[in-house]
Amino acid sequence: MASIGHHFTRTGLANNYIQSITIDKQDNKWFGTQSGLSKFDGTNWTIYYDSTYYNYIDAMAIDAQNNKWLCGGSVVSKFDGTNWTAYKLNAFDLISSIAIDSRNNKWIGATDGTYKFDGTNWTTFMTDTSAKVIAIDPLGNIWFGIRGVGVMKFDGIRRTIYNTANGLVDNSVDAIAFDNKGDQWFGAIGGLSKFDGSNWTNYTIASGLVQAAVYSIAIDAQGIKWIGTYGGVSKFDGINWTNYTTADGLIDNNVTSIVIDTHGNKWFGTPSGVSKFDDGGAGPMILNINEVTNNINNVQLYPNPSTNQVTLILPNPDIYNIIISDLSGKIIKQFTVKDKQMIIQTEDINSGVYLLTLKSLSNGNTYNNKIVVAK
């Protein structure tokens, strides 16, 4: 078994305690610590401080313009590489999570609720419920891991809560990831859960996890899951488990965050610094919501709601893969079309709201919309 070889501590980091890690499009690694932001370009380290506001960085996200959005204390800060802009939430709110959707809205979890921020206006999404982790899947659904409640899925219309009564391993969820099969993976205090839209599969120490409390999940391009726990890192290929601890070179067994760079290196953030693991594996799985075009003007549907059929006008003449799925992710119809306009029969589809996903087979552009069937 390969050992973990490279460690980084205060030599380049603002602080050894790593709260979060993210990677930008230039493959720079950004480390959010308890006292500042550090960037590593593969050779050089740069430390950034916001001299005006709190530098305790609990969560990070990068938008389509490459701005870094940092959360700490009761402040959300935007850093464009030179300038800092701070946005103050309620005075006693502590912010713990952030995700950015395809329309550049920031979804922010704090101690007294969850908010949406469009860059100017704040909208309260949930009150008295704190989202410890927020993630957005390729269809644009927003998933909230809520301590003590479980996980909530928001499709833009409906909120659905999953908890131990449905099959979730534990109601305190700290990590969420999505694989290329459309499965959702949830890391919780009590273990790891996989949800395929219908069925749940749970993994614990008895299954092969090095430790039950899961804090972070990353998935590589081969679909291998890298799971950070309080007792080390577990690698799961769907059948076999491989566990890594300080005995294998990990700098600390408490793994708070994991990212995978374009070369396949795994970066593990811990309270004692960062460990880099080059196992010769695959790079990251690309499921980036910011690269999904979600523009209702590009895809026209009428009538919508529909009864027996709906006319679909596509953005450009092209070959498209078209998927219609229900709100749980179950595929109802899937086909390929070469045209700019077509008619979809809905007489065999039950009343309800459905997700429409179109992917151009020539350039990879993806378009999302919703079909409402009312009979």
Helices (H), the chain: none
Confidence of residue 294 (pLDDT cuts 50, 70, 90): very low
Rounded mean pLDDT of the chain? 86
Residue 362, Ramachandran bin (φ over 0: left; ψ between -120 and 50: alpha; else beta):
alpha
Rounded-to-integer distance, Cα 108 and Cα 8, Å: 29
N-term to C-term CA, the chain: 59
pLDDT at 301 over 70: yes
Q: Which residue has the higher pLDDT, 256 or 341?
A: 256
Q: What sign does the dihedral 63-58-222-183 (CA atoms) show?
A: negative
Phi and psi, residue 291, nearest 5°: -100, 10
Between CA 178 and CA 218 the distance in angstroms is 9
Q: Distance between CA 109 and CA 92 in Å, rounded?
A: 13
DSSP state of 293: B
Q: Tell me, what's the pLDDT at 325?
A: 85
**pLDDT confidence of residue 221:** 85
Token pair listed for 212: 């039950």
Are the C-beta atoms of residues 130 and 147 closer than 8 Å to each other? Answer: yes
Place of tokens 């577990």: 234
Per-residue pLDDT band for 54 (boundaries 50, 70, 90) equals low
Position 93 pLDDT exceeds 70: yes
Q: What pLDDT score does 295 carry?
A: 39
Best mean pLDDT range from 149-153, 219-223, 335-339, 363-367: 149-153
Q: Inform me whether the pLDDT recorded for 63 exceeds 50.
A: yes
Is pLDDT above 80 for 298? no
Lowest-confidence pick of 52-61, 234-243, 258-267, 364-373: 364-373
pLDDT at residue 362 greater than cutoff 80: no
> What's the mean pLDDT in 69-76?
87
Better-predicted residue by pLDDT, 339 or 66: 66
Q: What is the mean pLDDT of residues 10-16?
A: 84
Q: How far apart are CA 190 and CA 185, in angstroms?
A: 13
**What is the reported pLDDT for 25?**
84
Convert the pLDDT of each residue in 133-184 to its tens digit: 999 987 788 999 998 999 999 988 889 999 999 999 999 999 999 987 889 9
Higher pLDDT, 352 or 166: 166
How far is CA 160 from each of CA 143, 200, 261, 266, 328, rounded to the nearest angstrom? 9, 15, 33, 33, 9
Distance CA(253)–CA(256), nearest Å, equals: 9
pLDDT (average), residues 208-233: 95
Residue 291 has pLDDT above 60, yes or no: no
Backbone angles phi, psi at 91, to 5 degrees: -55, -35
Task: Answer for the pair 72, 54: CB distance below 8 angstroms, yes or no.
Answer: yes
Domains and CATH numbers, the chain: 6-290 (2.130.10.10), 293-373 (2.60.40.3080)
- pLDDT band at residue 109 using 50, 70 and 90 as cut-offs: very high
| 3 — pLDDT class (breaks 50, 70, 90) | low
Can you tell me the distance from the alpha carbon of 193 to that of 204, in angstroms, rounded to the nearest whole number? 9
Report the predicted TM-score, pTM, of the whole model to 2 decimal places: 0.77
- Percentage of residues in the chain having pLDDT higher than 90: 49
Work out the angle at residue 162's Cα, subtended by the Cα atoms of residues 161 and 165, and round it to the nearest 5 degrees.
125
Phi, psi of 47 (to 5 degrees): -110, 135
- Residue 79 has what pLDDT? 93
Using alpha carbons, list the distances in angstroms from residue 202 to 3, 167, 186, 191: 28, 8, 9, 7
Does pLDDT of 373 surpass 90? no
| Amino acid, res. 17 | Y
User: Would the pLDDT of 10 be above 70?
Assistant: no
